[in-house]
Amino acid sequence: MYNIHMTKFDEYIEGSKKILLITSQPVDPDCISSGLVMKKYLEHLGLNVTFRFPKELTQEEVDRNSYMPLFNEFIHSDTRTLLTEGDFDTLILLDGINWVQFYDYKNKELPEPVLDKGKKIIQIDHHLGNPEDLATNQIKNNKASSTIEIILSEVVPNDFLNKDLATLTYIGLMGDTGNFRWNFNPTTLRQAAMLLDKGVNPTEAIEHMFFMKKKEYMDMVKYVLENMEYDDELKTVFLFLPQAKLQADGIGEHRYRLIKEAFINEISFSIKGYTIGIFMAEETTKGKIKISARGSNLNNKLSLPGFFKALGGNGGGHFHASGMEIDCDFEEFKSKMKHVLLEKFREIKF
């Protein structure tokens, strides 16, 4: 090993031989880079590693991320069989706080897998919230920009990274900070500088992640602009998509994902005078609501995890980025959400 002194991770991994390594859903640059960098490092240590992202990716998701180095090793399938068979002595969970993030929970035909606490379990994560009791062996830091930042700070030595792994790591940092626009800290920038010294060329990643948009994506940006609502009292922009509207507008699964991405990434915190953007939709079924929110890093003063916790969520995410799911009548929850948002603003005198 490169480390002169034992790290917390060295102590946790001591005696392990067969590893099941799962990086959490939903898919994003942080979970991809964290998973692949950890896989390579564990293999370097001579350990037998089975690696999974816990659900099948769509072809769109594969195409979007295939520019990343080593993406051909990003194995994606439900983890239930691996967890049930239990052919491992150590389970490592990356970039998630809830058990449902580590198997394909949307597959309702199969039961929820059991988390075997008799195994050694290691959890590495950077999210806020009320985490489930997944592991006693934890490496967590909710001040970190990303899980890959924690891995680079506390697990993997810099000397281990070749150019491909350095590029993966840089993409992970860039993804969770919006190209270093939010949620970064001095450590993040020091790591980015070190990675650039290793020969990382950020231009390709920036182009793929932020600029190379298809025409259909821009069409969905137009849809967002035509359908979102401005609430001047709440200083919030909303996009409400109940099932009836999705059906009336002919919005299928693919276009829905593009609409959500366009609102969250392009619009939600980009309008002067509006500090929060909230996306609320009945994604697949009437009464099953998903909400995502983003706040302006400069002007938002409201903890979004705290806001959603007041609405019944688990309080996960980051100060300026959170969400929840709930079974409720759409209009009823919409009204309740606006009421709670107004109360929260009054509490912080905003």
Confidence of residue 130 (pLDDT cuts 50, 70, 90): low
Tens of pLDDT along 287-312? 999 999 999 988 999 999 999 999 99
Rounded percentage of the chain residues whose pLDDT exceeds 70: 98
Q: Are residues 45 and 107 in the same domain?
A: yes
**Are 185 and 249 in the same domain?**
no
| Residue 218 token pair | 């821009």
- Domain span holding position 259: 215-347
pLDDT at 236 > cutoff 80: yes
pLDDT in tens, 246-257: 999 999 988 999
Answer yes or no: do 203 and 227 share one domain.
no
Please indicate whether residue 316 or residue 291 has the higher confidence score (pLDDT). Answer: 291
Tell whether 149 and 226 lie within a shared domain: no
Please check the confidence at residue 161 and state whether its pLDDT lies above 90.
yes
Q: What pLDDT was estimated at residue 19? A: 98
Bigger pLDDT: 222 vs 208: 222
| Residue 343 amino acid letter | E
Residue 335, domain member (yes or no): yes
Mean pLDDT over all residues of the chain? Answer: 93
Identify whether residues 335 and 224 lie together within a single domain: yes
pLDDT band at 4 (very low <50, low <70, confident <90, very high): low
Closest CA to 93 of 110, 72, 116: 116
Q: Which two tokens stand for residue 228?
A: 């979102």
Residue 90: pLDDT above 80?
yes
pLDDT at 317 over 70: yes
Q: Domain of 193: which CATH number?
A: 3.90.1640.10
Cβ atoms of 147 and 34 within 8 Å: the answer is yes
Distance CA 114, CA 118 (A): 11
Instruction: Give the residue from 178, 211, 244 where a domain finishes.
Output: 211
What is the pLDDT at residue 138? 95
Higher pLDDT, 5 or 302: 302
Q: Which residues of 76-105 are buried (b: 16+ CB within 10 A; e: fewer)?
A: bebbbebbeeeebebbbbbbbbbbebbbbb
Q: Do 112 and 258 share a domain, yes or no?
A: no
Residue where one domain finishes, among candidates 184, 211, 238? 211
Whether 314 shows a pLDDT value over 80: the answer reads: no
- Asked whether residue 206 falls in the same domain as residue 296, the answer is no
pLDDT tens readout for residues 92-114: 999 999 899 999 998 888 999 99
User: Is 2 within the bounds of a domain?
Assistant: no
Place of tokens 């069989």: 81
**Are both 15 and 72 inside the same structural domain?**
yes
| Cα–Cα distance for residue pair 127/130, rounded to 1 Å | 9
Q: Please give the Cα distance from 180 to 192 (Å, whole number).
A: 10
User: What pLDDT is recorded for position 349?
Assistant: 80
- What is the number of structural domains in the chain? 2
**Single residue among 165, 196, 211 that ends a domain in this structure:** 211
pLDDT at residue 173 is higher than 70 = yes
Does 220 lie in the same domain as 166? no
Quick one: 187 and 311 in the same domain?
A: no
Q: pTM for this one? A: 0.85
Percentage of the chain surpassing pLDDT 90?
80
> Is the separation of the CB atoms in 275 and 344 below 8 Å?
no
pLDDT of residue 1: 45
40-44, 118-122, 129-133: the lowest-pLDDT one: 129-133
Q: Which residue in this structure is represented by tokens 């009204």?
A: 335
Question: Which one is predicted more confidently, 283 or 167?
Answer: 167
In a shared domain, residues 303 and 154: no
- Domain of 233: which CATH number? 3.10.310.30
Residue 3 located in a structural domain: no
279 and 297 together in one domain = yes
